[in-house]
A and B are shown apart, each in its own frame.
Chain A
Amino acid sequence: MSSAKPRYFIYHIVVGGFAVLLLYPVIWLLVSSFKESEDIFVTAGSLIPNPFTTLNYAQGWEGFGGYNFGIFIKNTVIFVVWMLAGHLISCSLIAFGFARLNFFGRGFWFAIMLVTLMLPYEVVMIPQYIIFSHLGWLNSLKPLVVPAFFGHPFFIFLLVQFIRTIPRELDEAATIDGANTFQIFYKVILPLIVPALATTAIFTFYWTWDNLLGPVLYLNSPEKYTVSMALNMFLSNETVSNWGAMFAMSIVTLVPVFVIFFIFQRYVVEGISTSGLKG
């Protein structure tokens, strides 16, 4: 009774203090984005912007080459929507096939899928680029979004695991009622795997929003840039004076990630804990 309280206190000091220390750089970035650019490194030790300014946000939003940040955000949202459509449709179909249907070669293809999970992207990066350039797909979203319509091993695996927990009696009951295989998928399974689809959607959003290598390879005109590419451009054009604008736009790109996380926290945490998805 008497020793419990100080121990709790020490626990919270250590665990909480360490958490704050870890997040300090992010807090510093946020605060710095409201400082005047020339002050950022002069008053780097202070967490109070003095004077407080939102000028960085206005300047950063203007973007470069006549394209403002709104355009980059719009491009990224379009990219995300295509990736979402691709992953949700293809992965749910494929996962249902693997989890519920008995067919010749199922074990073989499932093993293949697990192996592709571990395949470094670098191995296919160059030939894919060559193939897509022959198809005339360079400087478009096609090389990035078309493959999404053919499944993604991580999400297929996640959905297969989830479907396996659904009792088979439901499928059998539907069969007795005269449903065919597609109807079982569409009417019985699909409504029940919404939580796993939510996890798929959230991680598709994160990975697409952050994707830099893909857009760097395939998009070369500024009007098609995504936010991560726009930030990269900011950095390459870095002059001493525009740190503030760069920090401000960094914060702008982080906000949607945080917002989605705080709304759907449960699916994120469950998705990682149960399938080992890398966040």
Chain B
Amino acid sequence: MNSRLQKNMWGYFFIGPFIIGFLSFTIIPMVASLYFSFTKYDLFTAPQWIGIENYKKMFSDDPRYFQSLKVTFIYVLGGVPLRLSFALLVAMLLNAGSRAVGLYRTMYYLPSLIGGSVAVAIMWRNIFGDEGIVNLALQALGLDGIRWFGDPGAALWMLIFLSVWQFGSSMLIFLAGLKSIPQSYYEAASVDGGNYFQKFVNITLPMLSPVLLFNIIMQTIAAFMTFVPAFIISKGTGGPLDGTLLYSLYLFKQGFEYFNMGYASAMAWVMLLIVAFFTGIIFLTSKYWVHYESEGR
């Protein structure tokens, strides 16, 4: 009996920091955030209960909110599939080659390594400028340069390209997944006369599906929360014409520029629900496409 108590005490001694941190930096703030979401609060005067006004305003009386939702959905639904497809394609290319792959792996990973920095956002801003190298390249190909900062749609694609450019970390995960697929599966398929496409659909994709599931979920959540590139590239405005007003940026502006803490809290809760909804959908559909090896292996 005594030893069982002792075991529990040791357990909570070690994970104690996590529990304390979870309560003080996650649970209490979340409860507070839920409360603030039903109030009008500017940080300087006491919060004022206004019921569901914030939520009502969001969906009926705030065109910028809809704009930020739209922009964020395009960013997530455009960026994540492109980024993961690139990651998978390059991982398969690297997996097929034998020599010098280490060097290539490093080169492809580097954009991911530095991609979250302000320096890279500044760089991106400048290569897409009117006289930047992207337009120079387009002109060299005989195309017209694009005014990336003049058109809200183009500006958003500039952000999506930045996210796709950083496919390296997903590529590393896929590469590790590809290496763990037994070569004998492919050999057996070859004997049966399977072509590249059949091998990809029947062996590579199913074997890789657990890794794919993990990546889709983590990348989708991360994409919904993207802040730095939109903040830097638009110089904090979300412009042009709110074309890069990602959800996080609008939330930040509502909270810390206009001091609508209640409204921003309500936005945060809606975001949580959206992310939970998407994660749930991905999990639910996963049983139809994710293949787990049987325990016996």
Do A and B share a complex? yes
Chain B residues with CB under 8 Å of A209's CB are 117
Check A263 for interface membership: any CB of B closer than 8 A: no
Residue among B15, B96, B132, B267 facing the most chain A CB atoms (10 A cut-off): B15
Q: Which residue on chain B has the smallest CB distance to residue A22?
A: B111
Q: Which residue on chain B has the smallest CB distance to residue A41?
A: B131
Q: How far is the CB of A276 from chain B (nearest CB, A)?
A: 5
Chain B residues with CB under 8 Å of A129's CB are 255-256
Residue among B14, B116, B120, B248 facing the most chain A CB atoms (10 A cut-off): B14
Are A103 and B21 closer than 8 Å at their CB atoms? Answer: no
Are A44 and B132 closer than 8 Å at their CB atoms? Answer: yes
Query: Is chain B's interface secondary structure helix, strand, loop, or mixed overall?
Result: helix
Q: A41-B132, A232-B232 are in contact. Are A276 and B173 (CB under 8 A)?
A: yes
Q: A11-B97, A123-B30 are in contact. Are A254 and B11 (CB under 8 A)?
A: no
Chain B residues with CB under 8 Å of A15's CB are 93-94, 97, 104
Please, how many angstroms separate the alpha-carbon atoms of A169 and B117 in the complex? Answer: 44
Chain A residues with CB under 8 Å of B11's CB are 97, 101-104, 106
Q: A26-B123, A127-B29, A236-B235 are in contact. Are A269 and B100 (CB under 8 A)?
A: no
- The contact string, 1 if C-beta is below 8 Å from chain B, for chain A 102-123, is 1110100100110010111111
Which parts of B219-258 form the interface with A (CB within 8 Å)? 221-222, 224-225, 227-228, 231-232, 235-236, 248, 251-252, 255-256
Please, how many angstroms separate the alpha-carbon atoms of A234 and B129 in the complex? Answer: 17
Chain A residues with CB under 8 Å of B228's CB are 210, 212-213
Query: Is chain A's interface secondary structure helix, strand, loop, or mixed overall?
Result: helix
Chain B residues with CB under 8 Å of A102's CB are 7, 11
Chain B residues with CB under 8 Å of A41's CB are 129, 131-132
Q: How far is the CB of B93 from chain A (nearest CB, A)?
A: 6
Are B28 and A127 closer than 8 Å at their CB atoms? Answer: yes
Q: How far is the CB of B123 from chain A (nearest CB, A)?
A: 5
In the complex, identify which listed stretch (B56-64, B74-82, B195-203, B271-279) lies at the interface while the others stay far away: B271-279
Please, how many angstroms separate the alpha-carbon atoms of A106 and B8 in the complex? Answer: 9
Check B107 for interface membership: any CB of A closer than 8 A: yes
Please, how many angstroms separate the alpha-carbon atoms of A269 and B21 in the complex? Answer: 29
- The contact string, 1 if C-beta is below 8 Å from chain B, for chain A 251-273, is 10110011001000100110011
Q: How far is the CB of B148 from chain A (nearest CB, A)?
A: 14
Are B107 and A279 closer than 8 Å at their CB atoms? Answer: no
From A45, A119, A251, A279, B26 is in contact (CB under 8 Å) with A119
Chain A residues with CB under 8 Å of B248's CB are 122
Please, how many angstroms separate the alpha-carbon atoms of A122 and B30 in the complex? Answer: 10
Which parts of B116-131 form the interface with A (CB within 8 Å)? 116-120, 122-127, 129, 131
- Count contacts between A and B, CB distance < 8 Å: 256
Q: A41-B129, A102-B11, A257-B113 are in contact. Are A126 and B36 (CB under 8 A)?
A: yes
Q: A11-B97, A97-B15 are in contact. Are A253 and B28 (CB under 8 A)?
A: no
Check A162 for interface membership: any CB of B closer than 8 A: no
Check B288 for interface membership: any CB of A closer than 8 A: no
Are B18 and A94 closer than 8 Å at their CB atoms? Answer: yes
Residue among A25, A209, A269, A274 facing the most chain B CB atoms (10 A cut-off): A25
Which parts of A187-244 form the interface with B (CB within 8 Å)? 206-207, 209-210, 212-213, 217, 227-228, 231-232, 234-236, 243
Are A12 and B100 closer than 8 Å at their CB atoms? Answer: yes
Are A126 and B268 closer than 8 Å at their CB atoms? Answer: yes
Are A206 and B113 closer than 8 Å at their CB atoms? Answer: yes
Q: A120-B275, A150-B21, A268-B113 are in contact. List 14 more A-B contacts (CB 8 A).
A: A16-B104, A22-B107, A22-B165, A41-B132, A45-B133, A122-B271, A126-B265, A128-B29, A133-B43, A212-B227, A231-B122, A236-B236, A278-B218, A278-B222
Binding site for B on A (CB under 8 A): 11-12, 14-16, 18-20, 22-26, 28-29, 41, 44-45, 90, 93-94, 96-98, 101-104, 106, 109, 112-113, 116, 118-131, 133, 147, 149-151, 156, 181-182, 185, 206-207, 209-210, 212-213, 217, 227-228, 231-232, 234-236, 243, 246-247, 250-251, 253-254, 257-258, 261, 265, 268-269, 272-274, 276-279
Binding site for A on B (CB under 8 A): 7-8, 10-15, 17-22, 24-26, 28-30, 32-33, 36, 43, 90, 93-94, 96-97, 100, 104-114, 116-120, 122-127, 129, 131-133, 136, 165, 168-169, 172-173, 175-176, 214-215, 217-218, 221-222, 224-225, 227-228, 231-232, 235-236, 248, 251-252, 255-256, 261, 264-265, 267-269, 271-272, 275, 279
